[in-house]
Amino acid sequence: MALLEASGVVAGYGETEVLHGVSIKVNAGEVVTIIGPNGCGKSTLMKAMVGLVRVRTGSVHFRGVDISGHDPEQTVRSGLCYVPQTENVFPSMTIRENLEMGAFVRRDDYQFRIDEMLELFPDLRRSARLKAGTLSGGQRQMLAIARALMLDPVLLLLDEPSAGLAPALVEGVFERIRDINSTGVSILLIEQNARESLRMSDRGYVLAGGANQLQDTGPALLDNPEVGRVYLGG
């Protein structure tokens, strides 16, 4: 059984329908990438999965439970954590406070988890007392991911974690994602850096116009001439 299975998801904002029946799945332990042109509904799909956007028809099953209609708090508690593309830290709060907020629903003493996160992201340890708003783009992205990891999620949703970063930093982000996956966390990510992202992915999906277009293993999508032409820049 798949860890996460979205089937026939229809969702949108107000009068506008953005997703017209999208289906994807993530198996336990996998890294799965979604690529597609701007405005094809990738981000909306993630928001629908975590309960920020209402699923109108279709379903989202996570660990066998239909979570469409759950509010974000319930989704987070069930082990599905999400990192938005932008505005993904609390700017006036310190790095430590950001991590504490990530652990909001934890009832145990999560201090050890903060230490683990500062271990995993050494850049953050050096400046744990700084306000998140003063961090560089790369540090901010690391903090955003660390915040989402505070709950030991089963599945992590990352919306363009490398967006807006200098090329030298992008490789670092992908390395961290591989590290996180190697600890047993499944990962679903949206990426513009499709080539790097597909290379480390078990499988990938191409969305277009709010619907599924292609799906295959990561390497197969990399070799697909059509994908190469449209999304990988030749």
Partner 1 sequence: MGLSMSPGRISALLAAGLLILGFLPFIKLGLVVNGLILGSVIALGAIGLTLVYGILKLGNFAHGDYMAFGAYVAFFIVDGVLPRVGIEGAGLGPFTFGFPVLIALPLAALVVALGAIALDALIYRRLRDRAASTAILMMASLGVAIAIRGLVQLIWSGETQHYPRESRQVYHLPMDVRIPPDGLFVAVLAIILVAGVYALLTHTKMGKAMRATSDNPTLALVSGINTKQVVWWTWGIGGALAAVAGVLLAVVQAQLLPIMGWKFLIPLFAAVILGGIGNPYGALIGALVVGVSMELSTQWINPSYKPAVAFAIMIGVLLARPRGIFGDAP
Strand order, beta sheet including 65-66 = 16-26, 4-13, 55-62, 65-66
User: Three-state SS for 214?
Assistant: strand
Examine residue 34 and tell whether it contacts partner 1 (CB under 8 A). Answer: no
Examine residue 210 and tell whether it contacts partner 1 (CB under 8 A). Answer: no
Examine residue 92 and tell whether it contacts partner 1 (CB under 8 A). Answer: yes
Q: Residue 214's closest CA among 147, 143, 225, 29?
A: 225
Examine residue 101 and tell whether it contacts partner 1 (CB under 8 A). Answer: yes
Count of residues near partner 1 by CB under 8 A: 28
Residue from 54, 66, 69, 104 in contact with partner 1 (CB under 8 A): 104
Alpha helices in the chain (DSSP H): 42-50, 72-77, 95-102, 111-120, 122-125, 137-149, 167-182, 194-199, 218-223, 225-231
Examine residue 52 and tell whether it contacts partner 1 (CB under 8 A). Answer: yes
Q: Residue 192's closest CA among 153, 159, 228?
A: 159
The residues that bridge with 88 in the sheet, in sequence order, are none
130 vs 148: CA distance, rounded Å? 19
Contacts of 130 by beta carbon, 8 Å cutoff, 6+ apart: 94, 95
Stretch that binds partner 1, among 21-29, 35-43, 85-93, 182-190 (CB under 8 A): 85-93
Stretch that binds partner 1, among 32-40, 114-122, 129-137, 174-182 (CB under 8 A): 129-137
Q: Minimal distance in Å, beta carbon 207 to partner 1? A: 21
Q: Minimal distance in Å, beta carbon 160 to partner 1? A: 15
Q: Minimal distance in Å, beta carbon 104 to partner 1? A: 5
DSSP state of 129: T
Examine residue 91 and tell whether it contacts partner 1 (CB under 8 A). Answer: yes
Q: Name the residues that contact partner 1, by CB under 8 A.
A: 50, 52, 71-73, 76-77, 81-82, 84, 87-93, 97, 100-102, 104-105, 131, 133-134, 147, 151
